Amino acid sequence: MEDNLEHIMVVDDTPSNLLLILRALETLYKVSCFESGKACLEGIKKDKPDLILMDVRMPEMSGYECCRVIKKDPKYHDIPVIFLSAQTELNDKLQGYEVGGADYITKPCDVLEIIAKVDHNLAIMAEFKNRLEESNEFSKLAMANIGELGTILHFLENSFTCEDQKALANLLLTSLQSFNLQACVQLRGNEATINKCITGPCLPLEVSLMTSTAKGERIQILGNQCICTSKNASVLIKNFPQDDEILGGRIRDHLVPILNGTSARIDNFNQAKENEVSIVGRIKYALKDIDDTLVQIKDLNENRLNSILETLVSQNSSIKELISNDKDQHLSKEQEQECLSILDIDRADIINPADNKELVYRYERISGMLDDIIAVMV
């Protein structure tokens, strides 16, 4: 039972004073008594007390000197020291405060006052320790959050370097692994759906779970498993720390921005694919229009040439003789050039696209389409 009690150390060179305080406190606390400052310092090393009641005036080493030594040692500086003294002057109390004292009791001591001040200072120390522990826990949590936020920022930054869904899935799994999470991921793009696990292929049931919850609740806890879903991505955590409420809460908080970033990147992939399909379609349409225009130019060229030849053949015997020598009634390039030389006509003058409004319109339209395509690609 005594091991569970707070330890009070009493230091006084007067045995009667030690006995008085011992009798007052022994039923409430574990009490040890010492008659000098040096004995006190030796006793602390063997059994650290929770509080010290220290007489000020003692031979060899005063209470102030003993307290100063205690407060200089990091192992013992947190022990509250209450001074016992018949001196009531302000300077005496200030001196006690300067060396690290926590309180001051005037002799002759009143038993009830001793008990009250011991209880009060122990309560203050307990509150201080609780706050210190909370502060340490908060600091640890803050440091953990800083590191985890760094992982999130690293993921979001590197996601823009991923050129496809496969690379994005690998980055997502690596980021989740930095949280000590074993996970499967599903990325749903317009072109394909990727299911991937850090240890290899996903099990059919894992794929089914991620697929079936794609349009369900954002976060679902299933025992030690957790499914987090966004627009284009789902994550199945296999070792969710359900028993650790703080860690589990942090993980849920971190999964949301990670999956939002993943979905946004998949939207980029989808948009890029749509733009690519649109550009390819427009290029194909422009090429077809160019091909149709060339065919039209060719047909128009042949029609006009034949019309000119038919008109002139009936009027020019040399051309008529040249054509009659061709059994198939089709001129070769040499024959055609000879006809043109006879007629003194430049081949380039046979057809002038500017003379045909439809051809001019089609040229301008094709040129505009190509300009638009180039602007999108740039």
Question: Which pLDDT tens digit goes with each residue over 188-229?
Answer: 988 789 898 877 778 888 888 888 877 766 878 777 888 888
Query: Are 246 and 294 members of one domain?
Result: no
**Final residue before a domain boundary, out of 61, 90, 122:** 122
Answer yes or no: is 133 within a domain.
Answer: no
- Range name among 165-169, 187-191, 295-299 with the lowest pLDDT average: 295-299
Dump the DSSP string for 78-133: TS-EEEEES---HHHHHHHHHTT--EEEESSPPHHHHHHHHHHHHHHHHHHHHHHH
Please report, to the nearest 10 degrees, the dihedral formed by the alpha carbons of residues 172, 177, 181, 182 taken in order.
80
Answer yes or no: is 232 within a domain.
Answer: yes
Query: Are 184 and 286 members of one domain?
Result: no
According to DSSP, residue 77 is labeled T
Answer yes or no: is 13 within a domain.
Answer: yes
Query: Are 98 and 12 members of one domain?
Result: yes
Query: Are 277 and 255 members of one domain?
Result: no
Q: Given this model, what pLDDT does residue 32 score?
A: 94
**Final residue before a domain boundary, out of 271, 289, 324:** 271
Answer yes or no: is 243 within a domain.
Answer: yes
- Range name among 22-31, 309-318, 367-376 with the lowest pLDDT average: 309-318
Averaged pLDDT score across all residues of the chain: 79
Answer yes or no: is 18 within a domain.
Answer: yes
Answer yes or no: is 41 within a domain.
Answer: yes
Query: Are 145 and 267 members of one domain?
Result: yes
- Model confidence at 3: pLDDT above 60: yes
pLDDT tens, residue by residue, 328-359 = 555 566 666 666 565 555 444 444 555 566 66
Rounded to whole angstroms, how far apart are CA atoms 42 and 346? 123
The residue that leads in pLDDT, 166 or 285, is: 166
pLDDT tens, residue by residue, 135-167 = 556 545 555 556 677 788 888 888 888 888 899
Mean pLDDT of 93-122: 88
Query: Are 244 and 286 members of one domain?
Result: no
- Report strand pairing: 51-55 vs 7-11: parallel
Query: Are 98 and 156 members of one domain?
Result: no
Answer left, alpha or beta for residue 39, where phi above 0 means left and psi between -120 and 50 means alpha.
alpha
State which residues form the domain around 348.
Answer: 273-377
Q: Given this model, what pLDDT does residue 1 score?
A: 43
Number of domain units in the chain? 3
Query: End-to-end distance of the chain based on CA atoms, in angstroms?
Result: 83
Q: Kindly report the CATH number assigned to the domain that includes residue 20.
A: 3.40.50.2300
Query: Are 267 and 290 members of one domain?
Result: no
What residues pair up with 196 in beta bridges, in sequence order?
185
Q: Given this model, what pLDDT does residue 69 score?
A: 94
Rounded to whole angstroms, how far apart are CA atoms 211 and 188? 9
Cα 91-96-97 angle, rounded to 5 deg: 95
Answer yes or no: is 129 within a domain.
Answer: no
Q: Given this model, what pLDDT does residue 348 score?
A: 46
Answer yes or no: is 128 within a domain.
Answer: no
Cis check: omega of the bond before 108, within 30 degrees of 0: yes
Mean pLDDT of 8-25: 92
Query: Are 94 and 153 members of one domain?
Result: no
Radius of gyration from C-alpha coordinates of the chain? 48
Q: Given this model, what pLDDT does residue 341 score?
A: 64
pLDDT tens, residue by residue, 242-282 = 788 877 888 888 888 888 889 889 888 888 877 777 766 77
Q: Kindly report the CATH number assigned to the domain that includes residue 212.
A: 3.30.450.40
* Residues 6 or more apart in contact with residue 279 via CB below 8 angstroms: 373, 376, 377
Q: Which of 107-111, 141-145, 283-287, 331-335 has the highest mean pLDDT?
A: 107-111
**Final residue before a domain boundary, out of 251, 271, 291:** 271
Query: Are 349 and 255 members of one domain?
Result: no
Query: Are 151 and 266 members of one domain?
Result: yes
Nearest to 81 by CA among 98, 65, 104: 104
Rounded to whole angstroms, how far apart are CA atoms 99 and 70? 10
- Range name among 35-49, 171-185, 344-358 with the lowest pLDDT average: 344-358
Query: Are 148 and 267 members of one domain?
Result: yes
- Model confidence at 235: pLDDT above 60: yes
